[in-house]
Structure 1
Amino acid sequence: MHVEDIKAELRKRYGSLASISRQLGLNPNAISAAIHRPGNSIRTERRIAELIGKTPHQVFPDRFHADGTPIPRAVIRTPISRVPDRLRANGAMA
């Protein structure tokens, strides 16, 4: 779903995003942050989908697999190649 569609659906059913957050016992900005920042809070993203009456994958297809498991957001920082020796100072990284 588009971000604006999610926000509109929540507002139509429950009121402002801040009031929904407070009713759930969260920070007033929690719902908005979860909608706008992927991976900010998987639990809140699931709660948003539950409030709308859909699965997390239907609401956030780029954040959840079809089975409901979150898509990992971790960046793989393993180097894929070595720095050429000609770019090193005295054979050591500068």
Structure 2
Amino acid sequence: MVCKKDWHPADIKAALEKRGWTLIGLAAHYGIKSSSSFSFALSNSYPLNERRIADALGVPVQEIWPSRYFADGTKRPRGLRGARASRLGAHA
């Protein structure tokens, strides 16, 4: 099984810029005063903004963050639920 790696935050920003977006521009587009929640999503789980970034790139969210999403695009459980699910082999 080949494990894909999450895109590097710099690669996400570069891809956004190639599509005419910045994190500040995305925030403004969605009526958010600060781009910090988009910056946070680059390195931490923030499903809403992960989807917004993926939409701006025209790429499925699971392609950008395979560690956070299953191949079908559903969110991987985190914390105790994630540990329990991985032990049971759920969604393998």
TM-score (norm 1): 0.68
Structure 1 residue 15: deviation in Å? 3.6
- Structure with the bigger percentage of helix: 2
Task: Give, as a single letter, the amino acid of the residue that structure 1 aligns with 2:19.
Answer: R
Cα distance, 1:25 vs. partner?
1.8
- Kindly report which structure 2 residues correspond to 1:11-90, keeping only aligned pairs within 5 A, or say none: 11-26=17-32, 27-37=34-44, 39=45, 41-75=46-80
Which one has a bigger Cα radius of gyration? 1
Structure 2: distance between partners of 1:22 and 1:29: 12
How many residues matched? 76
For structure 1, the 5+ residue unaligned runs are 78-94
When normalised by structure 2's length, the TM-score is 0.70
State the identity as a percent.
35
CA contact (8 A) 1:57 1:65 kept: yes
The structure whose RCO (Cα within 8 Å, separation 6+) is larger is: 2
Note the residue ranges of structure 2 that are not aligned, 5 or more in a row.
1-6, 84-92
Aligned alpha-carbon RMSD (Å) = 2.1
